[in-house]
Amino acid sequence: MGLLEDKVVLVNGGSQGVGAGIVRAAVREGATVVLTGRRAEVGEKLAAETGARFVRADLSDATQARDSVVQVVDAYGRIDCLVNAAGLTSRGSLLDTTPELFDAHIATNLRAPFFAMQAAVADMTSREAPGTVVNIISNCAHGGPPHLAPYSTAKAGLAGLTRNAAHAHRWDRIRINGLNIGWTDTEGEDATQRAFHDAGDDWRDKAAAALPMGRLGQVDEIADFVVLLLSDRSGVVTGSVIDWDQTVLGGLD
């Protein structure tokens, strides 16, 4: 039996990067998986590869974020697990962030998880059934670098939402947790490094040399951790926002 046997799992932002890794891990562990993304060709390719179902959605639209859950419930009769993995990482500091950039970060990184969670928890409570939610947050929720001001703001909000919702629905046996992931090796991060930091082909090697464990975070490791949190094997844990990184906050040399 897999850790998610007979569970219906929605991975929002599941067509690439960490989300795609979670899709693969959840399918491997026996779940019926639905994934969302904006690019149909990418999502459909992953769906064909894994046996998951793809739903095209622009999660920056609150209605589409909510409807992603509605479509899962319509197709399978319920939702057992929700993962919010979509993320916008475009750069902006306090001084140069426009209202449009700020709103874009809030829409994708905070508002979308809020309304997806709203719909998922509504289904779970209506059935008086337990469920689990995992939000992919960021260690930037603790502050972040200057060039990620709107991103850090939205992710800090998501950390607060995770704890608030977990507290509100603990008696419903709905467990809601989050991961503050650090620097992770994804195709999206590769594009970001090249677009915003003039990185060359050796950027991963340079990054690894500057990190305590000698490597960037790996998607498959994060995905396995998320599956554990979604599953009954994580026990009663709820309201935890776990720092999944090699930086020890508060540690000083």
Q: Are 54 and 47 in contact (CB under 8 A)?
A: yes
Q: Are 163 and 177 in contact (CB under 8 A)?
A: no
- 151 catalytic, yes or no? yes
What phi and psi, each to the nearest 5 degrees, are found at residue 243?
-80, 105
Burial class (CB in 10 A: 0-12, 13-18, 19+), 34: buried
Q: What residues does 133 pair with on adjacent strands?
A: 82, 176
Q: Which one from 25, 64, 132, 151 is the annotated catalytic residue?
A: 151
Q: Are 50 and 9 in contact (CB under 8 A)?
A: no
Residue type, 122: A
Chain-centre distance for alpha carbon 110: 11
Helix (H) or strand (E) holding 236: none
Task: Tell me which residue has tokens 């939610």.
Answer: 133
Q: Are 179 and 134 in contact (CB under 8 A)?
A: yes
Helix (H) or strand (E) holding 120: helix 112-126
Q: Are 36 and 57 in contact (CB under 8 A)?
A: yes
Residues with a catalytic annotation lie at 151
